[in-house]
């Protein structure tokens, strides 16, 4: 099935999983907006790589937890590339500690970035998708949103919130050719997991039947597939890419 060149926004695409998704979509010739928050140089490098693959795009700064910045980002993307047709809510942070020690601000900032950021971006893109009668929203959650994790009550709650947000929005927009899905990665080798101590990594490994972390390039193909025309009958789904961790 021939794919049209679409306008794509990927939040948190300056590094890690978002970057891998951007490069995979560039191979499909889409016009890609690379969102970043603090690492402009990394975002510029991703855009260079996109261009080398023969696709076009822009970089766009915004903190997804701030509504005004999300509004500004979407205006910028629409003015330079056109209406957003495919949205990846990928930007995410952790701020781990046991509940006993967790400060309210640690809870808030993780919920604000991961869950509220997903809400803001989706809300502001969905009207045009409805008007165009076509759209794809792909939310990146985590396997800990399914199984919980010690020290991550804030993060796992934010990701579990994304699951029910996705299912509800999927129902709301299903008749408009818009699908809304989740990819729930397990542990993936990125800046987020590089900070784990060897002791923690060893323990995590014992939970993973495949006994290794995933790579961003192992998340990107399924992320790309969900954006395609042939994935049109999949909606409200949570797809784990976790080496079997949540079996
Ligand atoms: P990285 O830490 O490698 O990159 C995070 C990205 O998110 C960066 O591009 C960063 O931008 C961006 N970002 C962070 N905060 C904001 C914000 N407030 N506004 C806009 N952008 C922001 O993350 P990963 O690639 O590891 O993770 C990507 C997604 O995958 C996250 O949602 C994460 O929760 C999820 N995930 C990751 C797993 C893993 O093991 N790595 C496992 C399961 C899920 P900048 O650098 O410019 O600030």
Q: Mean pLDDT across the stretch 58-80?
A: 98
CB 180 within 8 A of CB 236: yes
Quick one: residue 29, left, alpha or beta (phi over 0 = left, psi -120 to 50 = alpha)? left
Q: What was the pLDDT predicted at 195?
A: 87
Helix (H, G, I), strand (E, B) or coil at 156: helix
Distance CA(106)–CA(97), nearest Å, equals 9
Please count the structural domains in the chain.
Answer: 1
CA 3 and chain centroid, separation: 21
Asked whether residue 199 is assigned to any structural domain, the reply reads no
Asked whether residue 230 is assigned to any structural domain, the reply reads yes
Asked whether residue 194 is assigned to any structural domain, the reply reads no
Q: What is the CATH number of the domain that holds 100?
A: 3.40.50.720
Distance CA(224)–CA(26), nearest Å, equals 10
pLDDT, tens digit (0-9, with 9 covering 90-100), for 33-44: 999 999 999 999
Which of 14, 16, 19, 165 to probe ligand 1 with, by most ligand atoms within 8 A of CB?
16
Query: Ligand 1: distance of its center to the CA of 58 in Å?
Result: 19
By residue range, what is the domain housing residue 108?
7-186+216-241
**Helix 40-52, helix 16-26: angle, nearest 10:** 20
Q: Which of ligand 1's atoms lies nearest the C-alpha of 14?
A: 9
Query: Ligand 1: distance of its center to the CA of 3 in Å?
Result: 28
pLDDT, tens digit (0-9, with 9 covering 90-100), for 3-14: 899 999 999 999
Asked if 155 is an active-site residue, the reply is yes
Which of 9, 10, 11, 12 to probe ligand 1 with, by most ligand atoms within 8 A of CB?
12
pTM for the full predicted model: 0.98
Q: Which of ligand 1's atoms lies nearest the C-alpha of 155?
A: 34
Asked whether residue 209 is assigned to any structural domain, the reply reads no
Return the ∠ at Cα 3 (arms to 83 and 124), rounded to 5°.
Answer: 20
Distance CA(118)–CA(121), nearest Å, equals 5
pLDDT at 1 over 70: no
Asked whether residue 193 is assigned to any structural domain, the reply reads no
Query: Ligand 1: distance of its center to the CA of 86 in Å?
Result: 18
The C-alpha R_g of the chain, in whole angstroms, comes to 17
**Which residues contact ligand 1 via a Cβ below 6 A?**
11-18, 35-39, 63-65, 90-93, 113, 140, 142, 185, 187-188, 190-193
pLDDT, tens digit (0-9, with 9 covering 90-100), for 134-177: 999 999 999 999 999 999 999 999 999 999 999 999 999 999 99
Asked whether residue 122 is assigned to any structural domain, the reply reads yes
Asked whether residue 201 is assigned to any structural domain, the reply reads no
């Amino acid at each position: 099935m021939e794919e049209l060149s679409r306008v794509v926004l990927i939040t948190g695409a300056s590094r890690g999983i978002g970057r891998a998704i951007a490069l995979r979509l560039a191979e499909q010739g889409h016009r890609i907006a690379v969102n970043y928050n603090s690492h402009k140089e990394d975002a510029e490098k991703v855009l260079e790589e996109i261009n080398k693959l023969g696709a076009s795009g822009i970089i766009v700064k915004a903190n997804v937890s701030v509504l005004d910045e999300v509004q500004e980002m979407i205006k910028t993307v629409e003015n330079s590339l056109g209406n957003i047709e495919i949205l990846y809510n990928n930007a995410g942070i952790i701020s781990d500690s046991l509940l006993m020690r967790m400060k309210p601000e640690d809870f808030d900032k993780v919920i604000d970035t991961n869950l509220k950021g997903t809400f803001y971006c989706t809300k502001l893109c969905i009207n045009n998708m409805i008007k165009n009668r076509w759209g794809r929203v792909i939310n990146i959650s985590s396997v800990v949103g399914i199984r919980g994790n010690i020290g991550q009550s804030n993060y796992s709650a934010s990701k579990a919130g994304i699951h029910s947000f996705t299912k509800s929005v999927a129902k709301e927009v299903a008749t408009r050719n818009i699908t809304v899905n989740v990819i729930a990665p397990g542990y993936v080798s990125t800046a987020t997991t590089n900070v784990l101590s060897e002791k923690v990594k060893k323990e995590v490994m014992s939970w993973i039947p495949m006994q290794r972390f995933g790579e961003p390039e192992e998340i990107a193909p399924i992320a790309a597939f969900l954006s395609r025309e042939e994935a049109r009958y999949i909606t409200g789904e949570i797809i784990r890419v976790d080496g079997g961790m949540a079996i």
